[in-house]
Amino acid sequence: MKFTIITLFPNLIKSYISESIIKRAIEKNKVDIEIVDLRNYTNYSHNQVDDYQFGGGKGMVLMVEPIVNAIEKYKTNESLVILTSPQGKTWNQKLSKNYANNCKHIIIICGHYEGFDERVLDYVDLEVSIGDYVLTGGELASLVLVDSITRLIDGVIQNESHLNESFENNLLDYSVYTKPVDFRGKVVPEVLLSGHHANIEKFRHESRLKNTYLKRPDLLNEQELSKTDKEFLNNLKNRKEE
Ligand code: ADE
């Protein structure tokens, strides 16, 4: 998988990708991340990439030409072009998985300032938001996409880590514990110390149901539940109401 990130702040991107799991994924050639400085693609003097908006109004708007110049330089017939913007489709695990499995090259354009000339949209395949809030720029959003896709690429992290993680089958992850067994009287559930694999699996499945019910009940509406799962959740509800 290759990412091309078009940005006004290359150092912000460099800093994140030179640490931890993404750094290792690059070293292992699982992923290639190319950082492109948008200022190198303007035809205007003084590296100008933005200007006032027609019709008046506050803030500077990214111009269409530098963005399209940069896209056209790096785009191939295998590229997907994504623009980060608060107006985009909200990013989620399903999209991450889809692009991790089906894409070879993703170009991400980081929006900035008061937005971008509307005509940019004619050159992008997808406008993506990472949530209903406004960031100062698209760099964090582009890193969210790169990070969430890269960790799903085969061989980047242990494959089993994906199996039960949050949002897999519309459930949150199960609760986990490590040393010490007893912290100020709060003890690790006994079953986890029992070495009984079937019971541990059962505990973990119920823990996923319980966490989802307590923290993200909306996810359960999208989930086909077995009879036993429904009974477990009903008991939980009844206990909560008592
Ligand atoms: N740029 C500014 N806010 C954003 C958001 N929420 N998602 C993606 N890009 C953005």
Domain shared by 131 and 61, yes or no? yes
Q: How far apart are CA 49 and CA 191, in angstroms?
A: 60
Residue where a domain stops, chosen among 116, 150, 184: 150
Domain shared by 108 and 227, yes or no? no
Residue 156 in domain: no
Domain shared by 144 and 172, yes or no? no
- Determine which residue's CA is closest to atom 5 belonging to ligand 1: 86
- Determine which residue's CA is closest to atom 10 belonging to ligand 1: 85
Domain shared by 144 and 181, yes or no? no
Residue 100 in domain: yes
Q: Is the link from the previous residue into 10 a cis peptide, with omega within 30 of 0? A: no
185: left (phi over 0), alpha (psi -120 to 50) or beta: left
Residue 158 in domain: no
88 is in an annotated binding site: no
Residue 205 in domain: yes
The confidence score (pLDDT) of residue 83 equals 98
- Burial track 47-61 (b if 16+ CB lie within 10 A, e otherwise): eebbeeeeeeeeeeb
Domain shared by 53 and 77, yes or no? yes
Angle between helices 10-17 and 139-150 (to 10 degrees): 30
Q: Which atom of ligand 1 is nearest to the CA of 128?
A: 8
- CATH code (residue 61): 3.40.1280.10
Query: What's the N-to-C CA distance of the chain in angstroms?
Result: 52
Q: Are 146 and 21 in contact (CB under 8 A)?
A: no
Residue where a domain stops, chosen among 121, 150, 179: 150
Domain shared by 91 and 192, yes or no? no
The confidence score (pLDDT) of residue 160 equals 72
Q: Which helix (H) or strand (E) holds 211?
A: helix 197-215
Domain shared by 117 and 178, yes or no? no
The confidence score (pLDDT) of residue 223 equals 81
131 is in an annotated binding site: yes
Task: List per-residue pLDDT tens for the chain, 242 residues long.
Answer: 999 999 999 999 999 999 999 999 999 999 999 999 999 999 999 999 999 999 999 889 999 999 999 999 999 999 999 999 999 999 999 999 999 999 999 999 999 867 899 999 999 999 999 999 999 999 999 999 999 999 999 999 987 777 778 887 889 999 999 999 999 999 999 999 999 999 999 999 999 999 999 999 999 998 889 999 999 999 999 987 87
- CATH code (residue 184): 1.10.1270.20
55 is in an annotated binding site: no
pTM of the predicted protein model: 0.92
The per-residue pLDDT for range 123-148, each reduced to its tens digit, is: 999 999 999 999 999 999 999 999 99
Domain shared by 76 and 138, yes or no? yes
The per-residue pLDDT for range 87-120, each reduced to its tens digit, is: 999 999 999 999 999 999 999 999 986 789 999 9
Domain shared by 130 and 185, yes or no? no
Q: How many structural domains are present in the chain?
A: 2
Domain shared by 23 and 103, yes or no? yes
Bridging pattern class, strands 126-129 and 79-90 = parallel
Domain shared by 56 and 96, yes or no? yes
Probe target for ligand 1 pocket from 5, 7, 85, with the most ligand atoms within 8 Å of CB = 85
Residue 96 in domain: yes
Partners of 89 in beta bridges: 128
Residue 200 in domain: yes
Residue 155 in domain: no
Domain containing 233: what range? 164-241
Domain shared by 119 and 185, yes or no? no
Residue 194 in domain: yes
Residue where a domain stops, chosen among 86, 115, 150: 150
The confidence score (pLDDT) of residue 222 equals 83
